[in-house]
Amino acid sequence: MRIGDLAARTRVSVRALRYYEEQGLLTSTRSESGQRHYGDSAVDRVRLIQQLYGAGLSSRTIAELLPCVDAKVSTPESRERLAVERDRINTQIAELITARDRLNDIIDVASRPNPHCNYV
């Protein structure tokens, strides 16, 4: 498939897909005229990239870790790196939960009729 099709299937912009390739996250074969072509597996690859971006990984980090996914092997350094990122995500999840609870408290307090207004 061509880049527009991949963009449509993944709901990722054409520009972003070219950017991923530029960053070494996504590869494509080129036609005689230079147009990019992708296999079906590219859809999953893009989804994975999106997930990792969503988890706060930078393209540089993703680029370093994708070989582990592709080759299904890892060096001690990359394992360390993966674990570090996982821990960072866990920390971030915990922070988000406290932030959400904090926000809920705010909602509760702000929604409750103000006690100062009672019996006035």
Would you tell me which residues interact with DNA (CB under 7 A)?
2-5, 7, 13-16, 18-19, 23, 31-36, 53, 57-60
- Binding partner of residue 14 among its own copies, DNA, none, CB cut-off 5 to 8 Å per kind: DNA
- Is 86 a binding residue for its own copies by CB under 8 A? The answer is yes
Number of residues that bind its own copies (CB under 8 A): 36
- Which of 1, 16, 43, 69 is in the footprint of its own copies by CB under 8 A? 69
Residue 46 · residue 6 · CB < 8 Å: yes
In three-state form (DSSP H/G/I as H, E/B as E, the rest C), the secondary structure along 56-86 is CCCHHHHHHHHHHHHHCCCCHHHHHHHHHHH
Per CB under 8 A, does 90 bind its own copies?
yes
Q: What is the smallest separation between the CB atom of 30 and its own copies, expressed in angstroms?
A: 29
Closest CA to 66 of 36, 37, 29, 23: 23
d(CA 66, CA 70): 6
Q: Which positions ≥6 away from 21 have C-beta within 8 Å?
A: 27, 28, 36
| Residue 27 binds which of its own copies, DNA, none (CB < 5-8 A, kind-dependent) | none
Q: How far is the CB of 50 from DNA (least distance, A)?
A: 7
